[in-house]
Structure 1
């Protein structure tokens, strides 16, 4: 009976103390309720053989009863919810991981293929104005080509061999070397390498068309459409070659 009463008293004391921990504002009231009127130490009646002021022994669990589980909360997630990182990722330096995140896959360059648009003739306007290089600058190392170029400029600034009614060249098959839009010409007169020819030729045509016909002209829209279709054909041809090589 003494053991049973001691166990009940210990259980009651632990429950009150637990409630006091959960509600800090009730802690003094809980302790006062456990103290006796005779001035005995807090924690209940003094046992036989216990001296005044002596600390009360901690209650021990009854035989065959497991110790009550701890009520402390833990923030640890269950093992099944934890994400297991690969070994090489775990050993990777943080700086390297950040650098790899910054790296973006390079987009393949769009294929551009130049082709002359029928019915344009903007390049036949030889007197192009101050926004373009002068003939003396272009043909500085080719004096014979310079004299030929100047001799082809008409009073209105257009080439004397250009037919304005149908926008064609009267000497197209025998036109001078500098009138040919070819990689060799761009390399010799403008220093443009072969791998940049198509893009530079397209850019030169766009500048000429804007100067002659305007930025919103039908000639510019037609030229861009021609270049787009020609570039698609080039991409398809390159894809077919890659398939054959594999």
Structure 2
């Protein structure tokens, strides 16, 4: 069974382009929306994302909307705690595919780290 976890040096969630995330105002408070928009750089990436290391510079102190936690996802999206694992995996896979491609190294790493094994080469 696949188990969601944050995969270091992926950074897909750090691509914050609001045009690719419709409905921000429906699940962020007005203060969070202001904070979110202030974090979006000209290239659509979070200003706290270090492209060289592919890590968040404020990970330990990141805002609520950057955290994959049962309480947060229940409050923001109405996701029940028992649904979080599958929901988070699907969200990450969709975002990784959109940014890097569904056969990218980032996708392969994510799948391996969370325990999704595919038979891509007919083996």
Task: Please state which band the TM-score falls in when normalised by the shorter chain.
Answer: 0.7 to 0.9
Could you tell me which residue of structure 2 aligns to residue 116 of structure 1?
6
Determine the C-alpha separation between the residues in 2 that align with 1:146 and 1:175.
14
Could you tell me which residue of structure 2 aligns to residue 226 of structure 1?
113
Q: Choose which of 32, 38, 56 in structure 2 pairs with 1:169.
A: 56
Runs of 4+ in 1 over 2 A off after TM superposition: none
Q: Choose which of 135, 138, 143 in structure 1 pairs with 2:27.
A: 138
Could you tell me which residue of structure 1 aligns to residue 92 of structure 2?
205
Could you tell me which residue of structure 1 aligns to residue 120 of structure 2?
none
Matched, 1:155 2:42: yes
Determine the C-alpha separation between the residues in 1 that align with 2:32 and 2:19.
19
Relative contact order, higher structure (CA 8 A, sep 6+):
2
Matched, 1:190 2:65: no
Q: Offset at 1:145?
A: 0.9
Instruction: Provide Cα deviations, 1:191-232, integer angstroms capped at 9, x if missing partner.
Output: 100010100011110111011111111100110111117xxx
Q: Which segments of 5 or more consecutive residues in structure 1 lack a partner in the other structure? A: 1-110, 230-246
| TM-score computed with the length of structure 2 as normaliser | 0.87
Q: Which segments of 5 or more consecutive residues in structure 2 lack a partner in the other structure? A: 117-123
Instruction: Provide Cα deviations, 1:2-38, integer angstroms capped at 9, x if missing partner.
Output: xxxxxxxxxxxxxxxxxxxxxxxxxxxxxxxxxxxxx
8 A Cα contact 2:25 2:33, kept in partner = yes
Alignment partner of 2:22: what SS?
coil
Alignment partner of 1:123: what SS?
helix
Determine the C-alpha separation between the residues in 2 that align with 1:208 and 1:185.
19
Root mean square deviation, CA, Å: 1.5
Equivalent pairs, count: 116
Q: Offset at 1:129?
A: 3.6
Alignment partner of 1:225: what SS?
helix
Aligned runs of 1:42-191 on 2, under 5 Å?
Answer: 111-127=1-17, 129-130=19-20, 132-139=21-28, 142-191=29-78
| TM-score computed with the length of structure 1 as normaliser | 0.45
Computing the radius of gyration from Cα coordinates, the structure with the larger value is 1
Q: Offset at 1:138?
A: 2.7
